[in-house]
Amino acid sequence: MPLYKCKTCTHEFRVDVLPLECDICGGKNLVALEPISKPVKKPIISDAKKKQSKLSFITAIFLGMVLGIVCIWVFLWVFFISFTRGLDNNTLNLKIQNIQREKDELQAQLNQSGQTTIVRFCNQTRGETINLAVGYWDGNNGTELRTKGWLTIYPSKCEEVDVGKSYTGSVYMYGQSETRFWNSNLPDLSFCVNSLRVFDFINANQMPCNEIGEKKVMMKAFVVTVTPGTTVWNLGE
């Protein structure tokens, strides 16, 4: 209820509406000492706006944090997928390389299994003709040594010996010219030959070797194991 004052008699009184005159002296010169209504709603509205603004700020911060977490998670997921795929690609490449290596090895073995083993003997002496006998393991699962001869190899010429299809193993030889021999001094490599004629002995490491013309000679072993294909053995000075 607002407060009013009469300027004539200085009487103060409260009424709901503005009176036309003072109820004491009847004066009409009245002045309101308090406003008719107080702005109570403005602070309420202002507080509500402040609370709403604060809530919006908190919400924005929360949404920003959530968005940041989502971005980090997406980045980590993409990185993990890329890293995993990289490992899978490396593993796949290694498997492909291993498979290709095994394929090449099998192909090499297959090629060798269909090849004949050839030993090419070449005469690199100065004008001497070489008569040559050759030995290699053949027969009875490779436990019997086969010797055969004679090859005549002229100076600067070569002669080839077929020691069998897919043969892999040791090869021996005994050679002689007018002035020298190609042999060894190892008794274990003593095998039977025929010095008078052409021969082909299947078990030269076991036979008695006591017929006419037969004798045992100590052959020289080739320094490497021969394999399918062509191997060259040079006979020099």
Per-residue pLDDT tens listing for the chain (237 residues): 777 778 778 767 677 666 667 777 877 677 777 665 555 455 555 666 666 677 777 887 888 888 889 889 888 888 888 777 776 777 878 888 888 888 777 666 655 556 899 999 999 999 999 999 999 998 667 788 999 999 999 999 999 999 988 899 999 999 999 999 999 998 889 999 999 999 999 999 999 999 999 999 999 999 889 999 999 999 986
Domain ranges of the chain: 3-33, 116-235
Q: How far apart are CA 204 and CA 191, in angstroms?
A: 5
pTM over 0.85: no
Integer Cα distance of 12 and 23 in angstroms: 10
d(CA 166, CA 226): 10
Peptide bond into 233 cis (omega under 30): no
150 prior amide bond cis, ω within 30: yes
